[in-house]
Homo-oligomer: A and B are copies of this chain.
Amino acid sequence: MTAKPTKDELRLLSSRDRLLHLIYTQQLSRGLLEDLFVVAEKARGMYASGIGATFLQNCLPNKRALLYFVQPSTRTFLSFQSAAEILGISTARVTSTSTSSEAKGETPLDTVHVFAMYHDLIVMRYPEAGFASKCAQYFRERDLPKHIINGGSGMDQHPTQALLDVYTLHREFYRKGGIDGKRILVAGDLARGRAVRSLIYLLSKFEDVKMDLVAPASLGLHDDIKEHMHENEMPFRESENLMDFIGEADAVYMTRVQDEYDDVEPGGELDYDRFSLTPASLDAMSPNCAILHPLPRRSEIPVSVDSDSRARYWEQVENGMWARVALIAHVLECDLRIKTA
């Protein structure tokens, strides 16, 4: 999310109202998000019946996808693979560059061009953050009708994680007036967690969302995203203790405080309880509050919380698959067929 695409760049990634590629979280407008949520809900409803599942599997009989995951991420990989297969798209996998022809002096763009001759969609997780965008431009220049979805490249952009997080909030608040006007608490490592940054960015597209930020002093949210909140008139409060705000939250988005904390704050011992769901914080939390987490978790959400009726983080995993179904359907243009089925 640090990567800031220019307007020209963003324009090239779309054609009219449709994304050709999803590279940046910034491409997800509120209108597009809501459209994707409708497709995701429709698809998961259809899939529950054999007839509906068969319909979905026959939506894209002449499309093939490559999962090009040079950076490993088992769960994002499996989520995209399942999403593609729900739509009847066969998937191939390439998980390293070492066996490819780059050793023979081929450029990374040539390698991707070869892959694109066999596939219509490339889901890409690549160490160099800007590479997915470079590929999208390359296809555009050559008029190649190929599509790229960023599966979490580099340190800063993972747009489908942002999409699934907001989709989870959308489902949660669907019968409670929607996301508009809600108060969302985010806790943990807000400095390095790209998920939180992207979530706040997307929530700024809704009306009157209020943010509460809870992090150790040295792991607070960076100034750029705070400025973004100011510009979008999005009120926020800050604290170093979950207990300060938890009673008012409509949803709590927990994240992991990583081991590396000790390197950041060599002097002090961190009181992890202040950033974890303890019995006290669960007591203080409203009975309707939703608990989210991008996973993997550690002690910030004890396993005992799994049976708490407010836990949404497992459902959130499944939501990720359905959000990706909707996204692939959008990019490959079978979303209308699904919506009108």
Q: What residues make up the interface of A, taking CB atoms closer than 8 Å to B?
A: 47-50, 52-54, 57-58, 61-62, 64, 66, 72-75, 78-79, 81-82, 85-86, 90, 92, 94, 99-102, 104-107, 110-111, 113-115, 117-119, 142, 256, 258-259, 295-298, 303, 306-307, 314, 317-318, 321
Given the complex, which residues of B lie within 8 Å of A101, measured CB to CB?
74-75, 295-296
CB-CB under 8 A from A58, the residues of chain B are: 54
Contact yes or no, A114 B48, CB < 8 A: no
Q: Which residue of B lies closest to A319 (CB)?
A: B117
Q: Tell me whether B94 and A78 are in contact (CB under 8 A).
A: yes
Q: A78-B118, A99-B74, A318-B117 are in contact. Are A50 and B61 (CB under 8 A)?
A: yes
- Chain B residues near A297 (CB-CB < 8 A): 106, 110
A154 to B256, CA, bound (A): 32
- Bound: A106/B75 CA distance, A: 13
Q: Is the CB of A81 within 8 A of B92?
A: yes
Residues on the B chain within 8 Å of A110, using CB: 295-297
Residue of B nearest to A49 (CB): B62
Q: Give the docked Cα–Cα distance between A82 and B82 (Å).
A: 18
Q: How far is the CA of A50 from the CA of B314 in the complex (A)?
A: 36
CB A127 to nearest CB in B, in angstroms, measures 14
